[in-house]
Amino acid sequence: MNLRGLINNVIKEEFSLTEEREQFDILYHGTDLESAMSIQQNGIDMSKAHGGYFGWGFYTTPDIELAKSNYGDFSEGEGSAVLEFKLDPNANILDLRDEQDFELWKRYNRLIYDKNAYKKFVSDGIDGLWDDSFDGVVVYNPNVLKLINIHNF
């Protein structure tokens, strides 16, 4: 087993998914139409991600209306879109309402100003995190998302 596999096993044993954790099947990302087309053609480019409260990542929400109103409606350019993704059911998404997940996050939160911190999160087996303060999931590992639809507005 490689180092990532060993770390993933430790994280998953210490911070295993439970029934109490928020589970997601579908996530949405609002953006401008040009960016939506770029993501469809080229995939998610983390170098274009923006820093937010939880660091540099790809910010999504399980609520399509929130994705449209908070992100898509403010997009610049010709039109807005909401991308619909299927989340890999094996993705390790921390739920910050969970005490153990929050304790794990505290080990990493000093990295949120580092544009490349998502690489560290992913190498340590953290694919993203959920926080209900913004009703969203910030994804650090775009490989856990599969684009299934683009909604134009």
Structural domain spans, the chain? 3-152
Q: Which residues are registered as beta bridge partners of 93?
A: 128
pLDDT, tens digit, 9 for 90 and up, residues 81-135:
999 999 999 999 999 988 999 999 998 988 989 999 999 999 999 999 999 888 8
The pTM of this model reads 0.82
Cβ atoms of 92 and 12 within 8 Å: the answer is: yes
Give the number of other Cβ atoms within 10 Å of residue 148's Cβ.
10
Alpha-carbon span 82 to 90, nearest angstrom: 24
* Burial (CB count <10 Å: 0-12, 13-18, 19+), residue 55: buried
CATH number of 3-152: 3.90.228
